Amino acid sequence: MAENIVYLLGAGFSAPLGLPVMSNFLIKSKDIYFENPEKYSSFTDIFDTINSLSVIKNYFEADLFNIEEILSILEMEGSLDKTKTHEGIINYISDVINYFTPDIQLYENSSSSWPHFIFGLDPLSRGYGLFVSNLFGLKFNLSLDEKQDKERPEVSLKDDIDRKYSVITLNYDLVLEGVCQYLNEILLGDGDISFNRVTHNNILNGKRSIPLAKLHGSIDTKDIVPPTWSKYLTKGIESAWSNAFNLISNANHVRIIGYSLPTSDAYIKYLLKSAILNSEHLKKIDVICLDDDNNARNRYDNFIDFNYYRFANRNVSDLFEDLYDMESKGKRQKKEDFVPHQLEAVHEKLMFESY
């Protein structure tokens, strides 16, 4: 019987690509504004509103560079209830995240080392690409492109799948979907794989899919939950929470990556607690989170009381670097298939080295 493995992803999962987190979102948005003030002229209203909050610091301690604190104050004050302001914030968040989300570029290389370049030259792109390839169970080979009269990578699906992966994310970005789109359009060409936001099943319309529950929404739909203290859920996002509940309830392994379990996110604790009530065979809870001051480790240690819980103070870049190294070992002949399959081994290696 296939093992059910659920990944819960926080901002730290996408941060290595340069995507902003709550603490640097404002700074990064100002960078792109001053790079092109005309294109991002709508940002000026946001900046003016934020500047108006400076009077708070005459009375209270406030981090007015942290977008979550800024928007929480505005929500409590009532500004975010105004339709125009709310739409402006949603567009602002979407524009900033879109700007910093990189595209994967296929590197044309027909040498014996072609598997190294399927996801381009950037090491991080390769890491995310190999991660997604493992989730879907893909295999690659070189195929002759008759139109261009040259060989190029081609993708197909492995028949033997002994694990079922699913993803729950707190991020708005389209990093995972971007890798999937690249594989479908550049390599597969017929949409054989997809991230499925509709149900918690691994088959959608007869195609292989990975369930994806986006708890805060997604920038491609503009139905997103602004990062505020209340985290108000729309009807569209409620279905994502229902799917996440089902995924965790049926999980054999829960893996949390890049999420520090901040005290303000009590609702995530309640989701985990309520879903575990229905869990029949949970074997492990693993956390991979960079934690320089041990605050995240302490929060997890105080929250999780389970003999098979492990914490690794590591960055997702470490996971991807090890994944690339292990997948790349051995010299492959030009015609040899490339089958990414080392995610489980790399995960165990990383967790083991942390103890």
pLDDT at 203: 58
3-state secondary structure of 299: helix
pLDDT at 250: 92
3-state secondary structure of 311: strand
Among residues 135, 127, 125, 208, the alpha carbon closest in space to that of 165 is found at: 135
**124 pLDDT above the threshold of 90:** no
Among residues 7, 14, 311, the alpha carbon closest in space to that of 175 is found at: 14
**111 pLDDT above the threshold of 80:** no
Q: 341-348: long-range contacts (C-beta < 8 A, 24 or more apart)?
A: 341/134, 342/134, 343/130, 343/131, 343/134, 343/135, 344/163, 346/319, 346/322, 347/255, 347/286, 347/319
User: What tokens appear for 107 in the block?
Assistant: 């590197």
CA 135/CA 144 separation, integer angstroms? 26
DSSP assignment string, 217-252: EETTTTEE--SSSS-PPPHHHHHHHHHHHHHHHT-S
**132 pLDDT above the threshold of 80:** yes
Q: Give tens-digit pLDDT for 9-39.
A: 999 999 998 898 888 888 999 999 999 999 9
Model confidence at 50, pLDDT cuts 50, 70, 90, reads confident
Q: Give tens-digit pLDDT for 307-354.
A: 899 999 999 999 999 998 888 775 555 566 788 889 999 999 999 887
Burial (CB count within 10 angstroms: exposed 0-12, middle 13-18, buried 19+), residue 164 = buried
CA 72/CA 67 separation, integer angstroms? 8
Give the HSE-up count for residue 160: Cα atoms under 13 Å, Cβ half-sphere: 2
Q: Give tens-digit pLDDT for 60-100.
A: 777 777 777 777 777 666 665 554 567 788 888 899 999 99
Amino acid at 20: P
CA 327/CA 243 separation, integer angstroms? 32
CA 15/CA 316 separation, integer angstroms? 9
pLDDT at 332: 56
Q: Give tens-digit pLDDT for 197-245.
A: 876 666 556 678 899 999 988 988 878 877 665 666 666 788 898 999 9
Cβ contacts of residue 338 below 8 Å, gap of 6+?
Answer: 114, 115, 118, 139, 140, 141, 332
Cβ proximity of 155 and 189 under 8 Å? no
The whole-model pTM stands at 0.88
User: What tokens appear for 289 in the block?
Assistant: 């989170």
| Region of residue 4 (phi > 0: left; psi between -120 and 50: alpha; otherwise: beta) | beta
Among residues 127, 185, 188, 193, the alpha carbon closest in space to that of 161 is found at: 193
pLDDT at 2: 80
Q: Give tens-digit pLDDT for 243-287.
A: 999 999 999 999 999 999 988 788 888 899 999 887 878 999 999
Model confidence at 301, pLDDT cuts 50, 70, 90, reads very high
Backbone angles phi, psi at 21, to 5 degrees: -110, 175
pLDDT at 154: 79
| Region of residue 137 (phi > 0: left; psi between -120 and 50: alpha; otherwise: beta) | left
What Cα–Cα distance (Å) separates residue 214 from each residue in 210, 237, 243, 345? 12, 8, 9, 27
